[in-house]
Amino acid sequence: RLRLHDGKLVKDRRYHLRTYPNCFVAKELTDWLIDHKEAPDRETGIRLMQKLMDHYIIHHVCDEHSDYKDAKLLYRFRKDDGTFPLSKDVKVFMRGQSLYEKLVSVEESILKVREENSVKYQRTFLGCEMIDWLVQEGEAENRKEAVELGRALLEHGIIQHVSNRHHFFDSDILYQFWINFRRRRRLTELLNENSSRTLSESPDSPFCLRKLNPDPGNTSFLSVQTNKEIKIVSAVRRSSITSLAGNSNTYFGTTPMLVFPPVAECNPKSVLKRPVTNEELLSPGAPYIKKTLTIVGDAVGWGFVVRGGRPCHIQAVDPGGPAAAAGMKVCQFVFSVNGMYALHLDYQTISSLIMTGPRTLVMEVMEAIE
Measured CA to CA, the distance from residue 153 to residue 132 in angstroms comes to 16
Task: Tell which residue, 341, 23, 18, has the closest CA to residue 153.
Answer: 341
pLDDT tens for 35-79 read: 998 999 999 999 999 999 988 899 999 988 889 999 999 999 998
Residue 322 confidence (pLDDT) above 60: yes
Q: Within 10 A of 252 (CB to CB), how many other CB atoms are there?
A: 17
Q: Within 10 A of 11 (CB to CB), how many other CB atoms are there?
A: 13
pLDDT for position 193: 60
- CATH code reported for the domain at 278-368: 2.30.42.10
Better-predicted residue by pLDDT, 179 or 21 = 21
Q: Do the beta carbons of residue 220 and residue 213 sit within 8 Å?
A: yes
368 falls in which pLDDT band (50, 70, 90)? very high
Q: Within 10 A of 259 (CB to CB), how many other CB atoms are there?
A: 11
| pTM of structure | 0.47
The boundaries of every CATH 1.10.10.10 domain in the chain are: 1-77, 88-177
Diameter of the chain measured on Cα atoms: 84
Lowest mean pLDDT among 257-271, 320-334, 342-356: 257-271
What number of residues does the chain have? 370
CA distances 220 to 177, 206, 302, Å, are 28, 11, 12
The boundaries of every CATH 2.30.42.10 domain in the chain are: 278-368
CATH number assigned to the domain with residue range 1-77, chosen from the 4 options 1.10.10.10, 3.40.50.620, 1.20.1330.10, 1.10.486.10: 1.10.10.10
Average pLDDT over residues 282-309: 86
Torsion sign, CA atoms 68, 73, 77, 78? negative
Considering the domain delimited by 88-177, tell me its CATH architecture: Orthogonal Bundle (1.10)
34 falls in which pLDDT band (50, 70, 90)? very high
Q: Examine residue 40 and say whether the peptide bond preceding it is cis (omega within 30 degrees of 0).
A: no
Residue 9 confidence (pLDDT) above 90: yes
268 falls in which pLDDT band (50, 70, 90)? low
pLDDT for position 364: 93
pLDDT tens for 198-222 read: 333 333 333 344 443 333 333 333 3
pLDDT for position 24: 96
Residue 147 confidence (pLDDT) above 70: yes
Q: Do the beta carbons of residue 49 and residue 29 sit within 8 Å?
A: yes
Share of the chain above pLDDT 90, in %: 41
pLDDT for position 299: 67
Better-predicted residue by pLDDT, 300 or 357 = 357
**Amino acid (1-letter code) at residue 314:** I
89 falls in which pLDDT band (50, 70, 90)? confident
Q: Do the beta carbons of residue 83 and residue 59 sit within 8 Å?
A: yes
**Amino acid (1-letter code) at residue 254:** T
pLDDT for position 224: 31
pLDDT for position 348: 81
318 falls in which pLDDT band (50, 70, 90)? confident
Residue 367 confidence (pLDDT) above 80: yes
pLDDT tens for 217-241 read: 333 333 332 333 333 232 333 333 3
Average pLDDT over residues 134-152: 94
The H or E element containing residue 100 is helix 88-105
Measured CA to CA, the distance from residue 45 to residue 152 in angstroms comes to 34
Q: Do the beta carbons of residue 35 and residue 52 sit within 8 Å?
A: no
Q: Tell me, what DSSP letter sits at residue 219?
A: -
Measured CA to CA, the distance from residue 297 to residue 328 in angstroms comes to 13
Average pLDDT over residues 111-131: 91
